[in-house]
Amino acid sequence: MKNAKFTVNLPARFQSEKNLAAVQKILDLDLEPIKFKLLQTEEHIKTLDELDLIEYQYKLFLICCAIAPEARIAPSHSIDMFWHAHIVDTSKYAKDCQDIFGSFLHHNPYFGMEATDGTAALNAAGETLLGLLKELAPAMSLGSGELQAAVCNPFAVCNPFAVCNPFAAVCNPFALCKPSLGDAYDRIQRPRPVRTGGIDYAVSLH
């Protein structure tokens, strides 16, 4: 899948100027350092080809958070793994969130565990994500079980409402808009996997 082209099909109802800008920013994210780390730490991942596909799925997940902020969605195990790896590079994740969403996209690890109807809510959140992914990437196989794993993982939950929360930054002592954010990002030397070329993304409007 080296130098593969992945397509995002954006339905007409999501084609606002704001959404189109967010989609392009997400597709332009440089996540090669994240994949470098995952290749070192996740023994079940053997090749960059596998990570290219997971990166695509993760970017689709971020797109869902951006274009449907009112939706409650739960990512698959693989997407969640990639999300965690992105989050722990704290300065990069904070900068990327600020660039895309204008605030910090939080991860809620307790959704599905905090109420008696948590499992049903988690199942519904997984199905909501699957429905959105089928629209954004109809060519992707969604019946293989991998993306459906979202409904089985009680620790993989996104709260997309965080992107609309003007108080989100108060949870971060290194508040997103402080000048030090750029300095913190620039101080880290991020290794990259060895590869020829990059990944080519395309956006298709319907």
Candidate from 3-7, 11-15, 76-80, 81-85 with smallest mean pLDDT: 3-7
pLDDT of res. 148:
44
3-class DSSP state for residue 151? helix
pLDDT of res. 119:
82
The torsion defined by the Cα of 44, 141, 65 and 182, in degrees rounded to 10, comes to 40
pLDDT of res. 143:
42
What's the domain count of the chain?
Answer: 1
The band of 141, judged by pLDDT with boundaries at 50, 70 and 90, is: low
What one-character DSSP code corresponds to residue 163? Answer: G
pLDDT of res. 197:
66
Q: Domain of residue 184: give its range.
A: 5-205
Average pLDDT in the chain: 78
pLDDT of res. 181:
54
57 or 174: which leads in pLDDT: 57
The secondary element (H helix, E strand) that includes residue 191 is none
What one-character DSSP code corresponds to residue 178? Answer: S
Tens of pLDDT along 28-54? 999 999 999 999 999 899 899 899 999
CA distance 115 to 98: 31
pLDDT at 20 over 90: yes
CA distance 73 to 123: 9
pLDDT at 110 over 50: yes
Q: What residues contact 37, with CB distance under 8 A and at least 6 apart?
A: 85
pLDDT of res. 57:
94
pLDDT of res. 182:
58
pLDDT at 109 over 80: yes
3-class DSSP state for residue 205? strand
Tens of pLDDT along 164-202? 333 333 333 333 344 455 566 676 777 777 776 667 788
How far from 175 is each of 108, 121, 170, CA to CA, in Å? 19, 31, 7
Provide the percentage of residues in the chain whose pLDDT is more than 90. 50
71 alpha-carbon distance from chain centroid: 14
The secondary element (H helix, E strand) that includes residue 8 is strand 5-10
